[in-house]
Amino acid sequence: MRKHYLFLTLAIILVTASCKPTLYTGNYGQVNQTQIVLSNANFNVLGSFTGTAIAKKSVTTIKNKEGLISLAKKDLLANARNAGVELKGSRTLMNITTDVIQNEKHVKVVVCAEIIEFTR
């Protein structure tokens, strides 16, 4: 009888110890393949902006949560809006870079981009 309790206890420990927290991993490359001929100065650079998002590596659920790159991009657009620059009309994000910094407990994503406006 004692062996059954010991075996049951060990089985419960093994089952619960094998649970793994959700980890943020991924790859972010060039998404838009727009080709623009810039032989003429037909654009103005409105500014360079940065957005940041931080999260713990272990979370209990990912239901109803956005990805870190999406949150960092939203922060970038909010920072641009606070500086008086909004994406509208012929404006677009250019030279987008994404940095992912990790340690044992947290993941930090930094998105940097320039906003340009086409004049012609």
> CA-to-CA distance for 34 and 45, rounded, in angstroms?
18
pLDDT at 15: 66
59-78: string of b/e by CB count within 10 Å (b at 16+)?
A: eeeeeeeeebbebbbebbbe
Band of pLDDT at residue 37, cut at 50, 70 and 90: low
- pLDDT tens for 78-96 read 999 999 999 999 898 888 8
At residue 23, the pLDDT reads: 46
User: In a 3-state reduction of DSSP, which class is residue 118?
Assistant: strand
5 DSSP β-pair partners: none
Residue ranges per structural domain of the chain: 21-118
Instruction: Answer with the residue of higher pLDDT: 72 or 38.
Output: 72
The CATH code of domain 21-118 reads 3.30.110
